[in-house]
Structure 1
Amino acid sequence: MAQRHLDPTNPLTGPAPTGDTLAGYLRAQATEFLRALRLHRETGPGAGGSDGSADAARALRRSARRISASLHTFQSLLDAEWSEAMRPELAWVSGTLAMEHAYTARLERLLTALHRLSGSTVPAPSPALDPAAGGRATVPRNPPAPAAERGNLTVGAAKAGALLDRQLTLARTRAHSTALQALGSSRFHAVADKVAVLASEVPLTAGAAATDLRPLAGAAEDRLRDAVTALPLVTAGNPYNAAALVHGLSPDTVPHPQDAPWHQVRLLLRLHRYAREAVRGELAGDPVAASRLLAAGQALNRHRDASEAAAAAAQAARTPRIAPATAYALGVLHADQRHEVEAARFAFQQAWQKETVSAS
């Protein structure tokens, strides 16, 4: 496909962004990481994590992702050995800290959907999470099921909810313990020490100070557009994908084959957005294009959330010796979340078409 790069006339005025711009961005993100770490230590983990501790963990993940993404996109401008050693460690930090929040959001999504489908009172939702910062998206609400179906579903909904509550609460507790152990480990302390050095000294290559960042950021955009081109966007334009539902209801526990390319696009979109931040500044450039990219990212976050929730419902349905009514309720819940997957794909298609038109 034709190569498309960031418009050199649109970013910040003045000289082209170079390695020095990248160094300033990395220093700022490293400083955010250290500030969040200090806040996390001051607030303490608490029994289930206080609000301040949760905010600090989210900020840690946010800065770790941005540093890691920059090391990937602009790797040719950074010391190769240092960069290759840092990236997996930052991914470990971000991934470990994300799991507790992921299980919490997944349980809320499934219980909310179960209440909606069975026609019972829906519990008050938690405050909206921030998909732009990697958080779990809030749960979209579909129209309730017909009365006859709700009557059959209600029989097993309570037990299905209790089963999901037990399984995901246990997983969340284990994730909380794992995160606490990780934050106290020598491995994490080594990462924090390296980030502290990064806050004052960025290991650029010899020619980085004179190298324009825009071609490297443009390459990240090209990889994203190539991956989107390979997606079945025609299928995503349909309201219902029967092949996705049939596969999900099978006893096969392998991850859904249709989901992987969408998850990959989500990661590439994140790399593209962070590259824009490094080159243009978070608030600079075209705000309309930034808003459309954000909408596309939110749709892909919902896609991930619904996909993982559907897998959790299917896994719960495989629990030995559960009642048929419970298994039925979990099957309906699984189908509902696969519908949400399709809705998220359609939302991404709409957002991406607007982004493509604005860029042409």
Structure 2
Amino acid sequence: MAQQHLDPTDPAAGAVTGDALARYLRAQATEFLRALRLHRETGGNAGAPARGYPGAGNDGAEESESVDAARALRRSARRISGSLHTFRPLLDAGWSEEMRPELAWLSGTLGLEHAYEARLERLLLALHRLSGATAVSVRTVDALVAGRASPGGRPAGATATRERGSLTVGAAKAGALLERQLTLARTRAHSTALQALGSSRFHAVADRVALLASEVPLTPAAPATGLAGLAGAAGERLTDAVTALPLVTAGHPYNAEALVHGLSADPSPHPQDGPWHQVRLLLRLYRYAREVLYGGDAPLDVRLLTAGQALNRHRDASEAAAAAAQAARTPRITPATAYALGVLHADQRHEVEAARFAFQQAWQTQTVDAP
């Protein structure tokens, strides 16, 4: 099977120059400012805390708008930062190098709270699935542990059994432990986001983006320079990174090596995950480069879409597995709780392998044979 080369351009795309980059950056800066205005109009909650969080209880519509505003801020910040990276030879070097890390800081800070919330939901759903139970609310898990309620309408304090539809004691306690840890992490991320959005550092970023909405610091040669070469280079970097992945291993739905050291005392990230996360980043940069080239007329690339979805699942599962492993290292937990967390960790590592397999299948569906 021949090496596949990404071609982000059609024959006419060579005429797309730095002017298109300037239009794209101005549009993204405008989106950023619009999201910032919406954020301020909705009280600046940046995604108000949900169930049980301090400060919960605000109007649901306002909370939803605030969450949408924070998401839009992240989305535009990522696109501006990614475009500054891909097309940096066409931009003022000093300005670009100062902006990129600040936009990355903002996007990462605003994304943490949602990441912890999604991770908790994923792990609790997996616990219920592994226990043979239907999905129930987090409060039901808490109630089970506290003895206040139980599935199936049994009296409060009844012992959970291993029958289908019931949570085991270990799974219930594992769920409660994960909720405590991830809720605390989310609360801290929420506070960090609020502090960031009120900081002088953020205001400096917002001021620079406001200037970008009206004036893009292109180099003198940029308006006459084609973008196809730089976008193509982004595609080549992605292709090279994919080629370096262990796709032969990922071509099988099970990879036993992925479980090695999963629950070891070493809290460092799983050694197999890094290259896959890098491919996810490069795929995102390539998508943004296509947006710059084609504007609003970018053709739908199903392969990129499905490959990106698989990589997102890979990221979510790998981070969920790490959270389960970290919870399993909690001192003085019961053997049943540790066992449930170990099963949960293994389940999420299997999900990682399934996502890698899905990516491999998506990526090779349109491979072109060598001439």
CA deviation map 1:125-163 (0-9, x unaligned): 9xxxxxxxxxxxxxxxxxxxxx97979981300100000
Specify which of 185, 199, 202 is matched with residue 171 of structure 1.
185
Correspondence for 1:134:
none
Specify which of 326, 332, 336 is matched with residue 325 of structure 1.
336
Correspondence for 1:210:
224
Correspondence for 2:347:
336
Specify which of 240, 252, 270 is matched with residue 256 of structure 1.
270
CA deviation map 1:300-351 (0-9, x unaligned): 0000000000000000000000000000000000000000000000110111
TM-superposed deviation, 1:359: 11
Correspondence for 2:119:
106
Specify which of 220, 225, 247 is matched with residue 261 of structure 2.
247
TM-superposed deviation, 1:123: 3.1
CA contact (8 A) 2:38 2:69 kept: yes
Q: 1: distance between equivalents of 2:259 and 2:122?
A: 19
Q: How does 1:85-124 map to 2 (within 5 A)?
A: 85-123=98-136
Specify which of 5, 8, 11 is matched with residue 9 of structure 1.
11
CA contact (8 A) 1:153 1:328 kept: no
Correspondence for 1:233:
247
TM-superposed deviation, 1:121: 2.0
Report the CA distance shift for 1:192/1:242 in structure 2 as closer, same or farther (over 3 A).
same
Q: 1: distance between equivalents of 2:242 and 2:329?
A: 34
Correspondence for 1:129:
none
Correspondence for 2:197:
183
Correspondence for 2:316:
305
TM-superposed deviation, 1:94: 0.1
**What letter matches 1:51 in structure 2?**
S
Q: What TM-score, normalized by structure 2, do the two folds share?
A: 0.85
TM-superposed deviation, 1:247: 2.3
Unaligned runs of 5+ in 1: 126-146
Q: 1: distance between equivalents of 2:369 and 2:203?
A: 45
RMSD: 2.3
**What letter matches 2:201 in structure 1?**
R
Aligned-partner SS, 2:35: helix
Q: 2: distance between equivalents of 1:101 and 1:80?
A: 33
Q: 2: distance between equivalents of 1:190 and 1:295?
A: 37
Correspondence for 1:276:
290
Correspondence for 2:19:
20
CA deviation map 1:244-268 (0-9, x unaligned): 1122132221110000000000000
Q: 2: distance between equivalents of 1:321 and 1:358?
A: 57
CA contact (8 A) 2:4 2:367 kept: no
CA deviation map 1:196-245 (0-9, x unaligned): 00000000000000000000000000000000000011111111111111
Q: 2: distance between equivalents of 1:2 and 1:96?
A: 36
Correspondence for 2:34:
35
Q: 1: distance between equivalents of 2:25 and 2:9?
A: 22
CA contact (8 A) 1:68 1:91 kept: yes
The answer on 1:74 being equivalent to 2:73 is no
Q: 2: distance between equivalents of 1:51 and 1:358?
A: 48
TM-superposed deviation, 1:51: 0.9
Q: Which is worse superposed, 43-52 or 341-350?
A: 43-52
Report the CA distance shift for 1:7/1:320 in structure 2 as closer, same or farther (over 3 A).
same
**What letter matches 2:321 in structure 1?**
A
Aligned-partner SS, 2:10: coil
Q: 1: distance between equivalents of 2:110 and 2:331?
A: 31
Unaligned runs of 5+ in 2: 51-62, 139-160
Report the CA distance shift for 1:10/1:337 in structure 2 as closer, same or farther (over 3 A).
farther
For these two proteins, the number of residue pairs brought into alignment is 333
CA contact (8 A) 2:170 2:336 kept: yes
Identity %: 78
CA contact (8 A) 1:153 1:325 kept: no
Q: 1: distance between equivalents of 2:48 and 2:213?
A: 32
Q: What TM-score, normalized by structure 1, do the two folds share?
A: 0.88
Q: 2: distance between equivalents of 1:282 and 1:3?
A: 24
Q: 1: distance between equivalents of 2:359 and 2:12?
A: 25
Q: 1: distance between equivalents of 2:4 and 2:77?
A: 32
Q: 2: distance between equivalents of 1:220 and 1:246?
A: 33
**What letter matches 2:90 in structure 1?**
L
Q: Which is worse superposed, 46-55 or 232-241?
A: 46-55
Q: 1: distance between equivalents of 2:296 and 2:244?
A: 28
**What letter matches 2:40 in structure 1?**
R
CA contact (8 A) 1:39 1:56 kept: yes
Q: 2: distance between equivalents of 1:328 and 1:37?
A: 45
